[in-house]
């Protein structure tokens, strides 16, 4: 099983006419939480931050994101990937 943080587009689109040589990484997640949305964003320092209205807070690494989603009942609604 692959880590949700990385996607190899060749594996996703096997048999496509043009091979996709880039690997993509998860950069941000829009999560639904108690009738509004929060954003989880990975900055260039590879640490994750939570943006909740006007409050920005450091979450930490990927394991902290997973724990934060579970404990805070955040429901991922949109995953945004960037080319590595």
Long-range contacts of 37-46 (CB under 8 A, 24+ apart): 37/77, 38/74, 40/65, 40/68, 40/69, 40/74
Distance in angstroms (rounded) separating the CA atoms of residues 13 and 17: 9
pLDDT tens series, the chain, 84 aa: 345 666 666 666 666 556 666 677 899 999 998 889 999 999 989 999 999 999 999 999 999 999 999 998 899 999 998 877
Boundaries of every domain in the chain: 6-83
Model pTM above 0.85: no
């Amino acid at each position: 099983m692959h880590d949700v943080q990385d996607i190899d587009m060749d594996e996703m689109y096997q048999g496509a006419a043009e091979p996709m040589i880039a690997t993509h990484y998860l950069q941000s997640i829009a999560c639904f939480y108690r009738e509004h949305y929060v954003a989880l964003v990975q900055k260039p320092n590879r640490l994750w931050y939570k943006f909740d209205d006007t409050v920005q807070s450091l979450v930490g690494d990927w394991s902290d994101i997973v724990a934060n989603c579970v404990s805070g009942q955040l429901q991922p609604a949109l995953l945004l990937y960037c080319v590595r």
